[in-house]
Structure 1
């Protein structure tokens, strides 16, 4: 308790906490997009429960990994080399997670563009609950390792890391339902989000091969694409009344 009070009295610790919370929230966006897309394929009565379980698993994994910080740090040590390129366990985890994201996003894009006949789809959803949780758990592990290693590089105080992780997961929990509902209401956003997952997967693979990618570039591209899609959605909304024979803007009639 005394150590915690001493930490709380240091302005530098509060600055590190604020920075780390923002960083963890940003890193959690990738995880949340994947969870939203995946759970939207479940029957409606299972979607909320699957999101909560997926985000809860993310919290458990992150806090569990924080308890083994010394082991996590060792994951960055090279274990073997191929053609002069050294690989650590972290690199292998990132490459594996990136490949999984590429496979999953490509499969979902194919399913969206060329869907199966309705008679071939399982009733109530196209994905089993257990399969969804398993895939969420796999990506939770990848993103958790990356998140904790990032946190270790920013501060040496484990309590600060824990507070930041909990705050980021709470934000994910609050944002999960609105984000999933938004994606479900706007089919074009699904394709955009899948494109984000492909970009994230390629970033993870590049990181695994030692090519550091500035996250700012990735998220700037995502924000730009989201902005363009917002304009497209606004344009479609304004064109819809005209297609239905209703004037785009209706107001009180002027008197002659």
Structure 2
């Protein structure tokens, strides 16, 4: 336990907690959209249960870290003339999660753009158990991604070799999961309310989920070493590019929302020049 109070352990805990929150953004977006289809009184419960499931899955996987790492072993090899692959349990889970996320996102966008309004009766048909089931399925995929990232960040070597030891590393990872989930629970309500009150944010969030689904498909294919012919191999997509696109898009959308709220219209420089010429009579309207 003394290792947990060292500067290195505290830094690792802080870093891991931050990463867990960043990796949980897609989880919160999915939670907001799925819970938004429920009755207003059921939405907080769905968000709480969803985030508690996320915490439970992550902690269970941490205790079974040997099994998780064992999923990286090849279970099926394919070697055809035009295609080859070494499929693992991990690649199957991540690839399947990407397909599910793509299906759910495209279905929701179709539903919203086709103008199918949901009445209170329609919302009642989307039971909380169905919402929790969808959340649980996707949480399994997000949990694998989160845990493998945490394992890669924290050294399980013995303290004398510069690591935290197995027990120390496990406690650090569990604490980071618990702290990050508590923080996400605090902000999940306001984020969900904001997303559900702005249709453009909903479509933007669903578009993010499509991007994440494509990223999971690419990552699953990369982990399975998909190769077409002799030269074409599928590579994973860097999460840094993805999250930059997400935050930049949100920043632009926030500017758009702020401009809509302002009473005074924003005039461009060229429009000001034209207005002055109209006043002077240099040009006619």
TM bucket by the smaller chain? 0.7 to 0.9
Contact 1:76/1:90, CA 8 A, preserved across alignment = yes
- Describe the superposition over 1:51-70 as per-residue Cα deviations: whole angstroms up to 9, x where unpaired: 10111111111111111011
Name the CA distance, whole Å, in 2 between partners of 1:124 and 1:191: 19
TM-score, normalised to structure 2, is: 0.79
Q: Does 1:194 align with 2:206?
A: yes
* Residues paired across the two proteins, number: 236
What displacement does 1:9 show? 4.0
Gaps of 5+ in 2: 157-168, 223-234, 266-285
Question: Of the candidates 9, 13, 35, which is equivalent to residue 9 of structure 2?
Answer: 13
**Hey, what does 1:122 align to over in structure 2?**
121
RMSD of aligned alpha carbons: 1.7
Deviation of residue 116 (structure 1)? 2.8
Aligned match of 1:67: 63
How has the CA–CA distance of structure 1 residues 30 and 124 changed in structure 2, closer, same or farther, with 3 Å as cutoff?
Answer: closer
Q: CA offsets per residue over residues 147-166 of structure 1, 9 Å max, x none?
A: 11111111121111101111
Match of 1:205 among 209, 217, 223: 217
Superimposed CA distance per residue, residues 93-118 of structure 1 (whole angstroms, 9 cap, x where no aligned partner): 11100000000000000010003366
- Measure the CA separation in 2 of the matches of 1:113 and 1:104: 14
> In structure 2, how many angstroms separate the alpha carbons of the residues matched to 1:117 and 1:212?
38
Deviation per residue, 1:31-56 (Å, 9 max, x gap)? 11101110011011110111101111
Q: Distance in 1 between matches of 2:124 and 2:198?
A: 18
Aligned partners of 1:162 and 1:118: how far apart in 2?
Answer: 40
Distance 2:113 2:9 in 1: 49
Alignment correspondent of 2:103 = 103
Aligned counterpart in structure 2 of residue 160 of structure 1, from 167, 172, 195: 172
Gaps of 5+ in 1: 243-256
Other-structure match for 1:78? 74
User: What TM-score comes out, normalization by structure 1 length?
Assistant: 0.87
Give matches, 1:231-242, under 5 Å: 231-238=255-262
* Displacement of 1:21: 1.1
